[in-house]
Chain A
Amino acid sequence: MIIKCPEIKGLEFSERSKKAILKIKEIKEVGELLAYSVAAGQVATIFVGNNAAVSSINVASTDFIQFSSAMNGVSLIVREKIHTRAVLTWSKVSDSKEKQFWKAIAKGCKVQ
Chain B
Amino acid sequence: MKKVTFGLLATLAATQIFASSTYEELFKSRKIDKSELIKLDTAKLDKVQRQVFEDLLKSVSMLGYKKSECDSSRVIKAEQLHGLGISNEHYNTVLIYFYGLNRKRCEESEYNKFAKLIAVNLASQKDSEVLEFITNLNRVGSAVYYDYAEAEVDFKQLPKSVQDRTSEVSFLKEDFNLFESLQNAE
The answer to whether A36 touches B32, judged by C-beta atoms less than 8 angstroms apart, is yes
Which of A26, A45, A91 has most chain B Cβ within 10 Å? A91
Q: Complex Cα distance A12/B13, Å?
A: 10
B171 at the A interface (CB under 8 A): no
Interface residues on chain A, number (Cβ under 8 Å): 62
Closest to A74 in B: B140
Mark interface residues in B141-173 (1 if CB within 8 Å of A CB, else 0). 101100100110000000000000000000000
Out of B20, B38, B41, B58, name the residue touching A70 (CB < 8 Å): B58
**Which residues does chain A contribute within 8 Å of B57, judged by CB atoms?**
66-67, 69-70
Q: Complex Cα distance A31/B136, Å?
A: 8
The answer to whether A29 touches B6, judged by C-beta atoms less than 8 angstroms apart, is yes
B22 at the A interface (CB under 8 A): yes
**Which residues does chain B contribute within 8 Å of A11, judged by CB atoms?**
16-19
Task: Offer 12 A-B interface pairs, CB within 8 angstroms, sorted by A.
Answer: A29-B7, A33-B4, A33-B36, A34-B133, A42-B40, A70-B60, A72-B64, A84-B144, A87-B178, A88-B147, A91-B182, A101-B22
